[in-house]
């Protein structure tokens, strides 16, 4: 299925929004809950598939639902269609600070592999599938990088990532990355998980027990602030039961609040 041709504009800096302009009868698909606003002529419908295979049988639909369960995403993908007259606009944003990465799949070979929560929206005709790593180590110790998504088609797709985004072009060299910092990479890149270092470094270095290894020729997108890292920091510094917290703003922390009578 050929993807619909859509126009878009990205707004903002650290909390970005992508607004998609649809001609009559054009459709964009998005993760559930990503929509910000839409014009009156736009209608939406939650479906169990991405719409790239309109004649798919019931077994195929059930298989796709099972894959969605594995990735931890909603069972449904929302389809937004312009049933009005003239061009209509619908906008999408991710729920945490970061950047939106626009991709023209036709220009990058028709396919990209990304983290399971990186997909934001895409033109109808784009296929969203699960991609397991072929390496045993990646499957056993991959953590965030174990379950990946394969985005394929010939239209525009949009990924979201946390913090600052860095695009790297590998030309045969090897890149070692925290598994949570990978956003997406070309399917030509070889992906594996390796031990981070010696035992002391693994347990006390603060960088995790394993690192992702990317090697080969292709494009890699990295993020500075994975959502899991952001969530961990918030939980770490959130007030605990009884009103106590770590007290990051105080040199003495809890002792300082005790001396202040808190």
Q: Is residue 248 part of a domain?
A: no
**DSSP string for 50-110:** -SS-TT--HHHHHHHHHHHHHHTS-S-EEEEEE-SSS-EEEEE--SSSEEEEEEEGGGGTS
Say whether pLDDT at 173 is over 90: yes
Q: Is residue 123 part of a domain?
A: yes
Give the pLDDT of residue 256. 46
- The arithmetic mean of pLDDT across residues 1-8, rounded, is 88
CA–CA dist 153, 136 (Å, integer): 28
Q: Is residue 130 part of a domain?
A: yes
Stated pTM of the model: 0.78
Range of the domain at 202: 7-233
Give the pLDDT of residue 144. 47
- The arithmetic mean of pLDDT across residues 144-167, rounded, is 87
Query: What is the domain count for the chain?
Result: 1
Q: Is residue 251 part of a domain?
A: no
CA–CA dist 71, 183 (Å, integer): 15
Q: Is residue 259 part of a domain?
A: no
Give the pLDDT of residue 140. 46
Q: Is residue 101 part of a domain?
A: yes
Q: Is residue 17 part of a domain?
A: yes
Say whether pLDDT at 98 is over 90: no
**Domain of residue 140, CATH code:** 3.60.160.10
CA distances 107 to 32, 98, 198, 213, Å, are 27, 24, 42, 25
Say whether pLDDT at 29 is over 90: yes
Instruction: Tell me what the pLDDT averaged over the chain comes to.
Output: 80
Q: Is residue 20 part of a domain?
A: yes
Among 118-127, 130-139, 183-192, which is the least confidently predicted range? 130-139
Among 7-16, 82-91, 227-236, 245-254, which is the least confidently predicted range? 245-254
């Amino acid at each position: 299925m050929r993807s619909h041709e859509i126009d878009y504009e990205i707004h903002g800096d650290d909390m970005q929004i992508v607004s998609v302009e649809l001609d009559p009868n054009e459709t964009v698909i998005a993760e559930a809950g990503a929509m910000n606003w839409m014009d009156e002529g736009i209608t939406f419908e939650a479906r169990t598939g991405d719409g790239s295979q309109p004649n798919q049988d019931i077994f195929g639909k059930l298989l796709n639902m099972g894959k969605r369960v594995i990735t931890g995403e909603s069972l449904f993908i929302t389809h937004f269609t312009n049933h009005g007259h003239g061009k209509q606009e619908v906008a999408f944003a991710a729920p945490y600070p970061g950047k939106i990465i626009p991709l023209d799949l036709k220009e990058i070979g028709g396919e990209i592999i990304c983290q399971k929560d990186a997909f934001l929206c895409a033109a109808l005709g784009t296929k969203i599938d699960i991609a397991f790593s072929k390496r045993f180590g990646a499957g056993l110790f991959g953590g965030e990088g174990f379950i990946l998504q394969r985005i394929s088609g010939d239209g525009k797709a949009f990924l979201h990532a946390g913090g600052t985004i860095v695009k790297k072009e590998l030309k045969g060299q090897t890149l070692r990355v925290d598994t949570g910092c990978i956003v997406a990479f070309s399917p030509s890149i070889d992906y594996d998980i390796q031990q981070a270092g010696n035992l002391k470094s693994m347990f006390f270095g603060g960088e995790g027990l394993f690192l992702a290894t990317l090697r080969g020729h292709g494009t890699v997108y990295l993020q500075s602030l994975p959502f899991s890292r952001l969530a961990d920091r918030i939980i770490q510094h959130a007030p605990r039961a009884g009103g106590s917290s770590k007290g990051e703003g105080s040199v003495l922390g809890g002792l300082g609040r005790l001396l202040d009578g808190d």
